[in-house]
Protein backbone atom coordinates (compact mmCIF):
# COMPACT_ATOMS: atom_id res chain seq x y z
CA UNK A 1 0.00 0.00 0.00
CA UNK A 2 2.86 2.41 0.77
CA UNK A 3 4.36 1.74 -2.65
CA UNK A 4 1.12 2.64 -4.44
CA UNK A 5 0.81 5.89 -2.44
CA UNK A 6 4.44 6.73 -3.23
CA UNK A 7 3.85 5.97 -6.92
CA UNK A 8 0.70 8.13 -6.98
CA UNK A 9 2.56 11.00 -5.27
CA UNK A 10 5.43 10.65 -7.77
CA UNK A 11 3.01 10.83 -10.72
CA UNK A 12 1.34 13.94 -9.26
CA UNK A 13 4.73 15.64 -8.73
CA UNK A 14 5.88 14.79 -12.26
CA UNK A 15 2.61 16.12 -13.70
CA UNK A 16 2.94 19.36 -11.68
CA UNK A 17 6.56 19.87 -12.79
CA UNK A 18 5.55 19.43 -16.45
CA UNK A 19 2.83 22.05 -16.02
CA UNK A 20 5.33 24.45 -14.46
CA UNK A 21 7.75 24.01 -17.36
CA UNK A 22 4.99 24.76 -19.87
CA UNK A 23 4.10 28.00 -18.12
CA UNK A 24 7.69 29.22 -17.83
CA UNK A 25 8.20 29.10 -21.61
CA UNK A 26 5.30 31.49 -22.25
CA UNK A 27 6.58 34.86 -23.54
CA UNK A 28 4.43 36.88 -21.14
CA UNK A 29 5.83 35.04 -18.12
CA UNK A 30 9.45 35.33 -19.24
CA UNK A 31 9.18 39.07 -19.91
CA UNK A 32 9.87 41.09 -23.02
CA UNK A 33 13.28 42.59 -23.70
CA UNK A 34 13.33 46.11 -22.15
CA UNK A 35 14.25 48.01 -25.34
CA UNK A 36 13.54 51.51 -24.00
CA UNK A 37 15.59 50.95 -20.82
CA UNK A 38 18.43 49.49 -22.84
CA UNK A 39 18.46 52.46 -25.22
CA UNK A 40 18.38 54.89 -22.29
CA UNK A 41 21.51 53.24 -20.88
CA UNK A 42 23.18 53.44 -24.30
CA UNK A 43 22.42 57.17 -24.55
CA UNK A 44 23.75 57.76 -21.02
CA UNK A 45 26.93 55.90 -21.96
CA UNK A 46 27.57 58.09 -25.03
CA UNK A 47 26.45 61.23 -23.16
CA UNK A 48 29.20 60.75 -20.59
CA UNK A 49 31.90 59.67 -23.03
CA UNK A 50 34.65 61.49 -24.80
CA UNK A 51 33.63 60.08 -28.19
CA UNK A 52 33.77 62.18 -31.31
CA UNK A 53 30.12 62.28 -32.46
CA UNK A 54 29.21 63.01 -36.10
CA UNK A 55 25.68 63.63 -37.37
CA UNK A 56 24.83 63.49 -41.08
CA UNK A 57 21.36 64.70 -42.10
CA UNK A 58 19.89 64.20 -45.57
CA UNK A 59 16.66 65.89 -46.66
CA UNK A 60 15.27 67.68 -49.73
CA UNK A 61 18.31 66.67 -51.78
CA UNK A 62 20.79 68.29 -49.38
CA UNK A 63 23.32 66.88 -46.96
CA UNK A 64 24.44 68.48 -43.69
CA UNK A 65 27.32 67.14 -41.58
CA UNK A 66 28.03 68.42 -38.07
CA UNK A 67 29.98 67.37 -35.00
CA UNK A 68 27.74 66.99 -31.95
CA UNK A 69 28.67 67.91 -28.42
CA UNK A 70 27.99 65.19 -25.82
CA UNK A 71 25.20 67.30 -24.33
CA UNK A 72 23.46 67.38 -27.76
CA UNK A 73 23.59 63.62 -28.30
CA UNK A 74 20.43 62.87 -26.30
CA UNK A 75 18.40 65.28 -28.44
CA UNK A 76 19.69 63.59 -31.60
CA UNK A 77 18.67 60.18 -30.21
CA UNK A 78 15.30 61.38 -28.86
CA UNK A 79 13.23 59.38 -31.41
CA UNK A 80 14.59 56.18 -29.87
CA UNK A 81 13.79 57.37 -26.35
CA UNK A 82 10.24 58.42 -27.26
CA UNK A 83 9.06 55.00 -28.47
CA UNK A 84 6.45 53.34 -26.28
CA UNK A 85 7.81 50.72 -23.90
CA UNK A 86 6.15 47.53 -25.13
CA UNK A 87 7.72 45.57 -22.27
CA UNK A 88 5.38 47.43 -19.87
CA UNK A 89 2.41 45.44 -18.57
CA UNK A 90 -0.09 47.77 -20.26
CA UNK A 91 1.41 47.35 -23.76
CA UNK A 92 2.86 43.83 -23.59
CA UNK A 93 -0.55 42.23 -24.15
CA UNK A 94 -0.90 44.14 -27.47
CA UNK A 95 2.24 42.56 -29.00
CA UNK A 96 3.47 39.10 -29.88
CA UNK A 97 7.03 37.98 -29.27
CA UNK A 98 8.92 35.64 -31.58
CA UNK A 99 12.38 34.29 -30.77
CA UNK A 100 14.47 32.81 -33.54
CA UNK A 101 18.05 31.61 -33.78
CA UNK A 102 19.63 32.20 -37.19
CA UNK A 103 22.38 29.60 -37.59
CA UNK A 104 23.89 31.40 -40.62
CA UNK A 105 24.30 34.68 -38.75
CA UNK A 106 24.85 32.93 -35.40
CA UNK A 107 22.48 35.46 -33.87
CA UNK A 108 19.25 35.35 -31.88
CA UNK A 109 16.51 37.61 -33.23
CA UNK A 110 13.67 38.62 -30.92
CA UNK A 111 10.79 40.22 -32.84
CA UNK A 112 7.80 42.09 -31.46
CA UNK A 113 4.80 42.82 -33.67
CA UNK A 114 1.37 44.24 -32.86
CA UNK A 115 -1.58 41.86 -32.64
CA UNK A 116 -3.85 44.56 -34.13
CA UNK A 117 -2.32 45.58 -37.47
CA UNK A 118 -4.99 48.27 -38.05
CA UNK A 119 -3.86 50.58 -35.22
CA UNK A 120 -1.87 53.30 -37.01
CA UNK A 121 -0.32 54.98 -33.98
CA UNK A 122 2.09 52.39 -32.75
CA UNK A 123 5.29 50.46 -33.07
CA UNK A 124 4.76 48.22 -36.10
CA UNK A 125 7.89 46.15 -35.51
CA UNK A 126 10.71 45.88 -33.02
CA UNK A 127 13.70 43.56 -33.47
CA UNK A 128 16.48 42.88 -30.99
CA UNK A 129 19.47 41.07 -32.48
CA UNK A 130 21.68 39.33 -29.93
CA UNK A 131 24.94 37.46 -30.34
CA UNK A 132 24.92 34.55 -27.90
CA UNK A 133 27.84 34.92 -25.55
CA UNK A 134 30.21 32.55 -23.93
CA UNK A 135 30.01 31.82 -20.23
CA UNK A 136 29.72 35.50 -19.29
CA UNK A 137 26.79 37.08 -21.13
CA UNK A 138 24.98 37.59 -24.41
CA UNK A 139 25.73 40.75 -26.38
CA UNK A 140 23.05 42.93 -27.93
CA UNK A 141 24.23 43.87 -31.43
CA UNK A 142 21.37 45.82 -33.02
CA UNK A 143 17.91 47.16 -32.21
CA UNK A 144 15.55 47.92 -35.09
CA UNK A 145 12.26 49.76 -34.58
CA UNK A 146 9.53 50.73 -37.04
CA UNK A 147 6.80 53.17 -36.06
CA UNK A 148 3.79 54.42 -37.98
CA UNK A 149 1.79 57.49 -36.98
CA UNK A 150 -1.32 58.62 -38.82
CA UNK A 151 -1.71 62.44 -38.67
CA UNK A 152 -4.67 64.38 -40.06
CA UNK A 153 -2.73 65.42 -43.19
CA UNK A 154 0.00 62.76 -43.43
CA UNK A 155 1.30 59.34 -42.46
CA UNK A 156 4.77 59.32 -40.90
CA UNK A 157 6.77 56.12 -40.83
CA UNK A 158 10.12 55.86 -39.04
CA UNK A 159 12.66 53.08 -39.50
CA UNK A 160 15.26 53.29 -36.78
CA UNK A 161 18.37 51.16 -36.33
CA UNK A 162 20.63 51.33 -33.26
CA UNK A 163 24.01 49.61 -33.68
CA UNK A 164 25.70 49.05 -30.34
CA UNK A 165 29.06 49.16 -32.15
CA UNK A 166 28.72 52.95 -32.35
CA UNK A 167 26.02 54.33 -34.64
CA UNK A 168 22.33 54.82 -35.26
CA UNK A 169 20.17 55.69 -38.23
CA UNK A 170 16.69 57.17 -38.46
CA UNK A 171 14.87 57.09 -41.80
CA UNK A 172 11.65 59.13 -41.80
CA UNK A 173 9.13 58.62 -44.61
CA UNK A 174 6.39 61.27 -44.85
CA UNK A 175 3.39 60.63 -47.09
CA UNK A 176 0.97 63.48 -47.81
CA UNK A 177 -1.97 63.27 -50.22
CA UNK A 178 -1.12 64.40 -53.71
CA UNK A 179 2.59 64.87 -52.95
CA UNK A 180 5.64 62.69 -53.53
CA UNK A 181 6.96 60.84 -50.51
CA UNK A 182 9.45 62.88 -48.48
CA UNK A 183 12.46 60.97 -47.14
CA UNK A 184 14.67 62.31 -44.34
CA UNK A 185 17.70 60.38 -43.10
CA UNK A 186 19.77 61.00 -40.00
CA UNK A 187 22.98 59.03 -39.37
CA UNK A 188 24.87 59.50 -36.13
CA UNK A 189 28.13 57.73 -35.30
CA UNK A 190 30.59 57.93 -32.48
CA UNK A 191 34.21 56.85 -32.49
CA UNK A 192 35.16 54.21 -29.98
CA UNK A 193 31.66 52.71 -29.68
CA UNK A 194 31.36 49.24 -28.20
pLDDT tens profile 6-29: 333 333 333 343 433 333 333 334
Residue 42 lies in a domain: yes
Residue 1 lies in a domain: no
Residue 76 lies in a domain: yes
Domain extent at residue 93: 27-190
Residue 8 lies in a domain: no
pLDDT, residue 21, reads: 35
pLDDT tens, position by position, 80-107: 999 999 999 888 999 999 999 989 888 9
Split into its structural domains, the chain has a count of 1
Residue 139 lies in a domain: yes
pLDDT, residue 13, reads: 36
pLDDT tens, position by position, 28-57: 344 899 999 999 999 999 988 899 999 999
Residue 17 lies in a domain: no
Complete DSSP assignment for the chain:
-HHHHHHHHHHHHHHHHHHHHHHHTSHHHH----HHHHHHHHHHHHHTS---EEEEEEETTEEEEEEEPHHHHHHHTHHHHTS--TTSHHHHTTEEEEEEEETTTTEEEEEEEES-TT--EEEEEEEEEEE--SSS--EEEEEEEEEEEE-SSEEEEEEEEEETTTEEEEEEEEEETTSPPEEEEEEEEETT--
Amino acid sequence: MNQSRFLALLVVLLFASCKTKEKSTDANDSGYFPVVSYLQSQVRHVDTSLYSIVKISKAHGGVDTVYLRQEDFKAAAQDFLDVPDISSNSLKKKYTETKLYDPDLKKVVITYEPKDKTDFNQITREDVIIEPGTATADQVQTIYIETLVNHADSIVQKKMTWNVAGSFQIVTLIDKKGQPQEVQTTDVSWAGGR
